[in-house]
Amino acid sequence: MSWSTSDIPDLTGRRALVTGATSGLGYETALELLRHGAEVTIAARNPEKSEQAAAKLKAATGKEPDVLALDLADLASVEDAAKSFSASQDSLDLLINNAGVMAPPFRQTVDGFELQLGTNHLGHFALTARLLPLLHKAKNPRVVTVSSFMHKTVNTVRQADLRAENGYAKWDAYGRSKLANLLFMSELDRRARAAGSNLVSVGSHPGYARTHLQSSGPQLGGANLEARLLAIGTNLVAQSAAAGAWPSLYAATTPGVPSGSYYGPSFFEFRGKPKLVHPSKAAQDPELAQRLWTWSAEATGVNAF
């Protein structure tokens, strides 16, 4: 595939919301959406970083994004963010569920869930459900959920994993959160089709990209040496955050992308131009996807479809 960001169509008049857009993949995604005419809201937890990112994006594109306070590890914050956004917008064309945490020591969300599944999956599940009325008001709404090739390191998600009731291993928990992202993407697609909705639900992953994500988890646990080693290795072999954002941008903006499809880098899903890729067998399990949806609706107190 010869795709590049110059192939992104004119997005004038379309409203996009990108989570985790203060740096890394989310920032690069917001940057290209703004460059191609979209009205963009960046949603993140840290107000100071959000304002800095907004100023940087305006300097680069001449367009100032809106800023939305959102802590995906706090379901009350998710509810407040959805209410605030809904009060200021008539519709939402594009939701990019990008934010995430990777391999921290055991932590819990405000609501008592394991931090990675709670943030990467449950927070985005609740946000999408609460924004669904605005998405349905758009002409061609689309939801992009960002996963990882690390979803292939695990073969299931259990209800007990939401609270790490059977123990915690940080990389397994990360893999489960990324598997949950794809299960959510596919079940959102299935439910949208069953309801007669024209909502498009697609997935993407960045391959191996240089972002702060690789070192932030170890730093959270005080493992500074591990964080430095990961940063060195990442800088040596990973592609840029801008290139890592290409699959998300392709999934978000390419006309005619099939709902339920999944995109990643072309070179062994490690780096390069975006292409259609295939999730693991577990990620394609419709019964597991339906069970996870039920557990997620019970855990968050919200539902979609």
- Residue in 23, 148, 170, 174 annotated catalytic: 174
Mean pLDDT of 231-236: 48
Distances (CA, A) of 72 to 21, 111, 143, 148: 13, 11, 17, 18
CB 92 within 8 A of CB 68: no
∠ CA 109-115-116 to the nearest 5 degrees?
Answer: 145
pLDDT exceeds 70 at position 91:
yes
Alpha-carbon distance values, 24 to 98, 105, 201, 240, 241 (Å) = 10, 22, 23, 9, 5
Q: What is the DSSP string of 26-76?
A: HHHHHHHHHHTT-EEEEEES-HHHHHHHHHHHHHHHS-PPEEEE--TT-HH
20: burial class by Cβ within 10 Å (0-12, 13-18, 19+)? buried
Judge whether residue 220 has pLDDT over 60.
Answer: no
Q: Judge whether 265 and 275 are in contact, CB under 8 Å.
A: yes
The CATH number of residue 90's host domain is 3.40.50.720
**Taking the model in full, what pTM does it have?**
0.92
Identify the band that residue 137 occupies on the pLDDT scale cut at 50, 70 and 90: very high
Backbone angles phi, psi at 18, to 5 degrees: -120, 120
In the residue annotation, 178 being an active-site residue is answered as yes
Return the closest-CA partner of residue 120 out of 217, 227, 261: 217
pLDDT in the model for residue 210: 60
Q: Would you call 174 a catalytic residue per the annotation?
A: yes
**229 belongs to a structural domain:** no
183 within a domain of the structure (yes/no): yes
Rounded-to-10 torsion of CA 124, 129, 130, 133 = 140
The reply to whether 102 falls in a domain is yes
C-alpha atoms less than 13 angstroms from C-alpha of 296 in its C-beta half-sphere: 30
The residue type of 280 is: S
Express each pLDDT in 49-86 by its tens digit: 999 999 999 999 999 999 999 999 999 999 999 999 99
Q: What range does the domain containing 46 cover? A: 5-209+242-299
Strands 271-276 and 262-267: antiparallel
Does pLDDT of 225 surpass 80?
no
What is the predicted pLDDT for the residue at 272? 87
Quick check: 150 pLDDT over 70?
A: yes
pLDDT range class, residue 214, cuts 50, 70, 90: very low
**pLDDT above 70: percentage of residues in the chain:** 89
Reported confidence tier of residue 228, pLDDT bands at 50, 70, 90 = low
Residue 91 in any domain: the answer is yes
8 A C-beta contact, residue 101 and residue 55: no
In a domain, 221, yes or no: no
Catalytic residue among 178, 186, 259, 296: 178
> With 60 as the cut, is the pLDDT of residue 233 above it?
no
Question: Quick one: pLDDT band at residue 219, thresholds 50, 70, 90?
Answer: very low
Total of domains in the chain:
1
- Structural domain contains residue 40: yes
Q: What is the mean pLDDT of residues 163-186?
A: 98
Give dist(CA 8, CA 272) in Å, integer.
17
pLDDT in tens, 5-52: 999 999 999 999 999 999 999 999 999 999 999 999 999 999 999 999
Is pLDDT of 229 > 80?
A: no
| Catalytic one of 147, 186, 197, 204 | 147
pLDDT (average), residues 233-253: 82
Rounded to an integer, the average pLDDT of 172-186 is 98
Whether 289 has a pLDDT exceeding 80, the answer reads yes
In a domain, 193, yes or no: yes
Question: Per the domain annotation, does 222 fall within a domain?
Answer: no
**CA–CA dist 15, 28 (Å, integer):** 17
Let me know if 139 is a catalytic residue.
no
DSSP-derived 3-state class of residue 85: helix
Q: Which residues contact 246 (CB under 8 A, 6 or more apart)?
A: 3, 5, 265, 273, 274
Taking 60 as the threshold, does the pLDDT of residue 141 lie above it?
A: yes
